[in-house]
Amino acid sequence: MVMAEGVVTPNPAAGAAQPAAVPERPQIVAPSRKNTHGVVSGPVPHILDAATGLTPTLQKFRLDGKVAVVTGGARGLGFNMASALCECGVKAIAILDVLQDYGDDAIALLHHKYGVAAAFYNIDVRDEKAVQDVIASVQQNLGSVDILLCSAGIADSNIKAEEYPIDKFRRLIDINLTGSFICAQAAAQAMIAEGHGGSIIFIASMSGHIVNYPQQQSCYNASKAGVIHLMKSLAAEWAQYGIRCNSISPGYMDTALNRVPALEAQKTIWKSRTPQERLGNVDELNNTAVFLASEASSFMTGSDLVIDGGYCCW
């Protein structure tokens, strides 16, 4: 029989086992602010900002006095994020898009709903001279360039790589990647000249991290991977000027462009491969855009935030 090497026996002199000492109850300061149901309600009054009534933490998400430029902001995700920036206090917003009717409606709605100065510019982000002229106009007529949100882009899907027309490949890269750089460069030049820094936000995609299934879209994936690394490169270069560059990488979103019968079968697959088992709502990038545009993210640059319902986990 194997014997234990050591045995600990009870000490008769010690008597019965004593219960563990109960720690002293910590001091608890009762809340002084209660509603009629006795529940703590609201922040401590003396820490609220006099102008906005917000706590210091929430105040950092405000964009009061800022001017935002949003490309691709006439509809869809771009318009929703533009609305969020207005809701959080920008004094003026410029929408850049190729869709004239949508753009006219967008600025009318933003001005009516939020009381902001709003301007629409019908331009193609590939047109370097036009973009530079627009940024100069924004500076002159709206006061400054503090925030740039690069949301303009296109997608080509279900095209086999071996059959991809080169002209279509070049066009997509030119809009999604080169266009983003053209706009960022023009905005950065203005921010540097104005001397106050700013925030540049790129809309990339989870497609810059993974290969989508089942659709074949090599060019789109490459363009968004390029946007992410462009953002990181610009963040490193422009930090010295107080310019922060970050990006948002959405997953599958429930936009009007995805609400077509031809995509129903693919959408079922997309949802099945997403842990949250759904597409993102069109307003579910808004808070992230506000965070990146505001001082709430003041120590953040060169980061890509993936908002995809968990798709990239699998």
pLDDT at 38 over 80: no
46 occurs within a structural domain: no
Do the beta carbons of residue 134 and residue 156 sit within 8 Å? no
37 occurs within a structural domain: no
What's residue 24's pLDDT? 74
Mean predicted confidence (pLDDT) in 49-74: 94
How far apart CA 260 and CA 31 sit, in angstroms, is 53
pLDDT at 3 over 50: no
Which residue blocks in 195-278 are alpha helix, DSSP H? 218-238, 264-272
CA torsion, points 61, 66, 70, 75, in degrees to nearest 10?
70
pLDDT at 6 over 50: no
How far apart CA 246 and CA 225 sit, in angstroms, is 13
Do the beta carbons of residue 121 and residue 74 sit within 8 Å? no
Do the beta carbons of residue 56 and residue 49 sit within 8 Å? yes
31 occurs within a structural domain: no
pLDDT band at 146 (very low <50, low <70, confident <90, very high): very high
280 occurs within a structural domain: yes
What's residue 25's pLDDT? 74
Question: What secondary structure, in 3-state letters, does 153-184 show?
Answer: CCCCCCCCHHHCCHHHHHHHHHHHHHHHHHHH
Is residue 205 annotated as a catalytic residue, yes or no? yes
295 occurs within a structural domain: yes
Mean pLDDT of all residues belonging to the chain:
91
What's the CATH number where 173 sits? Answer: 3.40.50.720
The residue that leads in pLDDT, 113 or 13, is 113
Reading the block at residue 216, the tokens are: 């074949």
**What pTM was estimated for this model as a whole?**
0.87
What's residue 33's pLDDT? 60
What's residue 32's pLDDT? 59
Q: Read off φ and ψ for residue 93, nearest 5 degrees.
A: -145, 140
196 occurs within a structural domain: yes
Selecting among 66, 151, 199, 220, the annotated active-site residue is 220
Percent of the chain with pLDDT over 90: 82
- Provide the residue range defining the domain that includes 217: 59-313
pLDDT tens by residue, 66-117: 999 999 999 999 999 999 999 999 999 999 999 999 999 999 999 999 999 9
Selecting among 83, 180, 199, 205, the annotated active-site residue is 205
* Least confident interval from 12-21, 186-195, 257-266: 12-21
Query: Which of 84, 62, 73 has its CA nearest to residue 286?
Result: 84
Is residue 252 annotated as a catalytic residue, yes or no? no
pLDDT at 9 over 50: no
Query: Which of 186, 155, 182 has its CA nearest to residue 169?
Result: 155
pLDDT band at 8 (very low <50, low <70, confident <90, very high): very low
**How many domains are contained in the chain?**
1
pLDDT tens by residue, 223-277: 999 999 999 999 999 999 999 999 999 999 999 989 999 899 999 999 999 999 9
The residue that leads in pLDDT, 162 or 40, is 162
113 occurs within a structural domain: yes
11 occurs within a structural domain: no
Selecting among 83, 121, 223, 224, the annotated active-site residue is 224
Is residue 160 annotated as a catalytic residue, yes or no? no
How far apart CA 157 and CA 193 sit, in angstroms, is 40
Percent of the chain with pLDDT over 70: 87
What's residue 135's pLDDT? 98
